Structure 1
Amino acid sequence: MEHTANKKIRKGSLEKRAKIMAAARELFLSDGFDRTSVDAIAATAGVSKRTVYDYYGDKQSLLLAVVEETSWAVLDMIKQGIADHLTEFENLEEALILFCQQFVASAQGSSDYSALIRLVMMESANLPASFLEKLDRSTEEGLIQRFTELGQAGLLDVRDPVMATKHFAALTFLLVFDQPKQADWEEEQTKRILTEGVRVFLCAYGKRTA
């Protein structure tokens, strides 16, 4: 009986946390951090205000938790792309292009990615610089590790894998995301940006030949 009761408590806690997170994310995106009250989050989640404070401490801690949780989906996209295209391949240029194409397609179709970008842009003043730096690093870690490994294998010349990762992102998928949205934007245009970006990256970081 005691074990069953504990399971119910834990399950209930997880359900309440999920409801609070969903309500906070919805209200932060629609109304903004400053205009969103803990009362409104509690009402939307169907819990007491005390429960929100008990689980998250304060409103800013809840914002950090929402942004962090939303970033997990982006991390999964990157990990999946690395597993699908950058683990085993015959041509590095082609593999990098395929990785970028998959990540762009996944991100553009993801409510989590768009929510993450909006939250970071809208609430940068309410997000500590140290938190944003940690967030950036966590999203880059997979590529940093893979570029380090490719350097050790002699396929890339990367003296600074962290900087190489930042350059790679800036030249490829971040450049695509920065393009103004257009109704007639075609997949071929995205592929051209990614392809040229990968080629520029390899000009700087590709294997040196004598």
Structure 2
Amino acid sequence: MPPVETKPLRAGSAAKRSAILLAARDLFMTEGFERTSVDAVAAAAGVSKRTIYDYFGDKSTILLRVVESAAASLLASVTEAADEELGPVSEAPETLEASLIRFVARISDTTMGSDAYSSLRRLVSTEAAHLPVLRDQWDTREPETLLAEYFTTFERIGLLRLAKPLTAADHFGALTFRLLQDEADAPKARRHEIVADGVQAFLRAYRP
């Protein structure tokens, strides 16, 4: 099922649209998609049911937009962390390992470690069975592409040896973020150990 195009917003309606998405996200995560009615979303957002249909068309499209917004927020967090933690490596090559560890730990602690992130992952996993496009929106490749760009920069200054930067980014994610997801409930010390071990394994494979 392709996503329904969202109608252009009238002047002053952006706040209502944001309120609808926020209310829907909270209800979907706490009550589940099937048990959440459009009436409930309208009441929580302080708008009419008609307004929701005007902006989004149906409940499935609201879910698509909620996941789209969450994915965009995740990408923004990854981009900020990469800029601040990995950006300075070009000027201080000796900090590569520590910077990679800080990058992953920061995302793990502030984003992946949040209850909201875990709830959204469960929501996508549950609802993607009948709305497959959800997984495409959630499992976006932008974070890996961003990381591959940094790895390419690191290769140019002699810090990494890469044949396929995007594949290297996938390997990095598998050794760090994916293992963190597998131990989402682990104590913070254990999660930081996973990060350090994963970064070191990646560097053993990709350092010149």
TM class by shorter chain equals 0.7 to 0.9
Q: For 1:66-77, what aligned pairs fall within 5 Å after superposition?
A: 66-77=66-77
The yes-or-no answer on 1:152 pairing with 2:153 is no
Relative distance call for 1:41 and 1:95 in structure 2 (3 A) is: same
Letter matched to residue 204 of structure 1: A
TM-score for the superposition, normalised by structure 1: 0.81
Instruction: For residues 45-86 of structure 1, give each alpha carbon's deviation from its aligned partner in whole angstroms, at most 9, with x where no partner exists.
Output: 222222111111222111111011112332122112211221
The yes-or-no answer on 1:201 pairing with 2:202 is yes
Shift of 1:88: 1.5
The yes-or-no answer on 1:136 pairing with 2:137 is no
Instruction: For residues 143-183 of structure 1, give each alpha carbon's deviation from its aligned partner in whole angstroms, at most 9, with x where no partner exists.
Output: 1221222233332222222221121111113312321525x
Secondary structure at 1:34 match in 2: coil
**Separation in 2, partners of 1:200, 1:60:** 41
The yes-or-no answer on 1:44 pairing with 2:69 is no
Relative distance call for 1:20 and 1:186 in structure 2 (3 A) is: closer
- Name which of structure 1's ranges 33-42 and 196-205 shifts more when overlaid on structure 2: 33-42
Runs of 4 or more above 4 Å deviation: none
TM-score for the superposition, normalised by structure 2: 0.82
Q: 1:118 aligned to 101, 104, 122, which one?
A: 122
Q: For 1:1-210, what aligned pairs fall within 5 Å after superposition?
A: 10-11=11-12, 13-89=13-89, 90-108=94-112, 110-129=114-133, 132=136, 135-179=139-183, 181-182=185-186, 185-187=187-189, 189-207=190-208
**Separation in 2, partners of 1:130, 1:70:** 11
Letter matched to residue 72 of structure 1: A
**Separation in 1, partners of 2:155, 2:131:** 34
The structure having more radius of gyration, on CA atoms, is 1
**Separation in 2, partners of 1:150, 1:32:** 43
- 2:16/2:47 contact within 8 Å kept: yes
Relative distance call for 1:72 and 1:111 in structure 2 (3 A) is: farther
Letter matched to residue 60 of structure 2: Q
**Separation in 1, partners of 2:121, 2:86:** 25
> Once superposed, what is the RMSD of the aligned Cα atoms?
2.3
- 1:100/1:172 contact within 8 Å kept: yes
- Name which of structure 1's ranges 48-57 and 105-114 shifts more when overlaid on structure 2: 105-114
**Equivalent residue pairs, number:** 195
**Separation in 1, partners of 2:149, 2:138:** 16
Relative distance call for 1:204 and 1:181 in structure 2 (3 A) is: same
Q: Which runs of 5+ in 1 are unaligned?
A: 1-8
Percent identity of paired positions between Structure 1 and Structure 2: 42
